Structure 1
Amino acid sequence: MAATRLIAMHQNKGRSLQKCLKDRTDYAQNPEKTDSGELVSSYQCDPEFVEEQFASSKKEYLEITGRKIVGDIIAYQIRQSFKPGEITPEEANKIGYETAMRWTKGQHAFIVATHVDKAHIHNHIIYNSTTLSCDRKFRNFWFCGVALQRLSDLVCLENGLSVIEPVKPSQRVKRTEYPDRRSFREDIRDAIDACLEQNPKDMDELLRLLLEMGYESKRGKYVSVKGKGQKKFLRFRSLGAGYREHDLERIFAGETREKVATAEEETEPKLDMLLDIQKMIAKGKGPGYERWAKVHNIKQMAQTLLFLEEHNLRDYDELAAKAKSVSDRFAEITERQKSLEARLTEIADLKKHIINYSKTKQIYVAYRESGYSKKFYEAHREEITLHKAAKDAFSKIKGKIPTIKELNAEYAQVLAEKKKTYSEYRQARQEMKDYQTAKYNIDRFLQTEEQEKQAEKQKQNTKAR
């Protein structure tokens, strides 16, 4: 069974055609997703130079036809996803190649990259919008996606795979309960979270990943995106804390999501610290400020009392114990988040070393057979250095070195736990802030009350004299 989708790939504004093609094809041929490049096949093009060949055919198209290019479609992508456990990666690549050949009728160059980093094996088929003869372009006709799905189903049936059975409207299960409608901003935040899992290095790479997910982007004074069903672009700055442009830039620079979230100031805190009126007056504030500060403190004290009533806290010692408890819980969750983040970094580094070791193994063998020749070393300095670094990393591992598949599974598990812990982290952080603020306000109130009593007592003693 295979689910297919046809995606028109556009040229980004302000970027060259070849650069846009390279971004798309590099993602499809990612060695970590294609078993070190073993699951990449092609037709009438070289996978290593596919962007140059596609771009060259478009220049030749203009010279042959003299036509002006209408639109900005530079290539098409077919995503072909298979049912988990029904097919092997090699068979999936073969079926993707056959589907692409029948779909293009052999008139368009293409590459087929099979990804195995998800639970479901899937193909990324990218074919040139210009024909091999460079005198025509692919015509995206009405119901093109339906025709592609039927062709994919036919290829699957011929190879002994199941297909998605159509269901008549009368046989469909009717809903009795409808889920809450999600906002576009929630969808965009989820999409950004998914993109950040791939560790983009800058805003351009993040927008490229969003483009792969079907989002349009617009760069100006502010960065904004628009997804399917949206009528207007939505700015990143309207998505809330952790998703604004300056927050994302800090994440690109290497800061964790937790550190960025901790630095964010809450715009409407539930409780506010009571102002130290006397201290502010001593700095030169006038009587007008004194009146405002007293009213402010009364309002904040009222919110504090409401908070204590909502949480059934009527004893100061109980409040102090609760404030300490939530602070300890926040510290524990923070440490857990740090350990998970460290493990994710370790897994990513180990995967990189395994891939580098595989790529440079033959060169290092040749280097050893040359008697560790200095001339050979200088000619292959980078490969040999990467190989040695990988061996050093392996020497620190106790037991058997895990496979890429095992590391991908562990990475997904740790990442899921980190996401779950992050939601607990934000909740614990807000809870700690609320209780600590309530305790501070009560302490300040009791201190002020004690100061007033002492002042009244001193005044009475002065009168008695």
Structure 2
Amino acid sequence: MAILKHINSKNANYGDAEKYLLFEHDEFTMKPTLDADGHLIPRADYRISSLNCEGEDFAIACMRANLRYGKNQKREDVKSHHYIISFAPRDGPENGLTVDRAQELGEQFCKEHFPGHQALVCTHPDGHNGSGNIHVHIVINSLRIAEVPLLPHMDRPADRRAGCKHRCTDACMNYLKAEVMEMCHREGLYQKDLLNGSKERVNEREYWAQKKGQLALDSENAARAATGQPVKQTKFETDKAKLRRTIREALSHAASFDEFSSLLLREGVNVKESRGRLSYLTPDRTKPITARKLGDDFERASVFAVLEQNAARAAEQPAPIAEYPDTIKERIQREKSPKIAPNNDGVQRMVDIAAKKAEGKGRGYEKWATMHNLKQMSATLAAYQNYGFASPDELDAALAAAHEEMQTSLAGLKELESTLAGKKELQRSLLSYIGTKPARDGLKAQKSDKARRAYREQHESDFIIAEAATRYFKEHGISKLPKRKELQEEIQRLTAEKNAGYNDYRAKRERFRELQTVKSNIDQILHREPSRQRKHEQER
């Protein structure tokens, strides 16, 4: 799934940002990596472009604009903003995302959401931790060099004026996250809900503390192994990670908040509820950690929901029978229970060995295909039985029903997309019309026709925008303009519905594809030849 990160910088040297994008850097110290001769090492693969720089170097263009408007001259000023859109590693092999396409999406995203800013857009094909995720860097000068249209997250006139600075507020980040989700859904990429938090919230500082701690632990374990000493632990945990594990363990045994508090207190953690929020104080700290910094699973609502479930489950259990003595119980618990590896691999299509041999495949491929077909035959029969089909005709009926459900879900999703697109177009026209209000009010204040004509010529662009918005309202029969806040809330509601609909469509599409694979394998096992109509329906 794609995620969005933001970093602001007070570094007055804009060239450092470009240097980071073009040359390799150490992931821990963030210093450039040098070769044996002390030269910078260029990155193996990247795409980079600049926007609104008028043919100049990004750093020179930014400094020239800062001098022209007299901004970003103090040490404490935020000079630039760095946004990173990281796509899921699976988007490349499964959804066809390429570095060039990601670069196009990044440039389009920058033009739409950071208009009027000098910017660098650079795409790297791999993450710093070797995860294989394509990601796009967008670095913008905090100063705006041109007046821009009013965007939904802007709440001050200065947010759209030339010579003013970009503000990354909570409303701005939520708007940008929603646009990233919309972009991924539009492009058919993997995406999760970025607006409703996460079960475990790991910030930048904790992430790097875990990385550095793991590296130090690995080095220590390697040194201990070299001297024959036993290794204490292999996975490094931050203080917050330990606290999360402690809280989860207490939650799994508690049925009330008092019991939950006492279990945590045994581990030295003091939990406090204030104003409907929870905070946790560990022995090594003087200031408690709020649940919001740990994740949604540790908030008051989630904690009390788990406690209620535990209480209900405990009420349903019958009275316990006499236990084994402690010695027998301990011996039983020490016995190693067999582990069953989960089967994460779905049913795959069987290979037509005869057709492949006709294409020129050799003996090695035939041997592999025979083993593959045996495994998939077993998996297919297991899936066939799990679905409860009594005959191939029932499988055909289930496949047709799954196809119909998938198409119905897709039709509903398309309808939601159309409605959402209409609401966003209305929002753009409304914001454009609201942005021209000072010019329209100024026209009313003119006393003579000559003054009004001169005023219109002076503010011609504003009146062109206002007339275009007015035409849009008339064409769509809008006599009363909606309130800006209500329209934004409706767009957010439709976006949430669309995300849920998209997930529903994906689930139904996966079920249809699985049934499709099962049917294809069953036909091959029974040597059935699918009809043309059925074959065409499967290929869709």
What range is the shorter-chain TM-score in? Answer: 0.3 to 0.5
Structure ranking higher on relative contact order (CA contacts 8 Å, 6+ apart): 1
- Per the normalisation by structure 1, the TM-score is 0.44
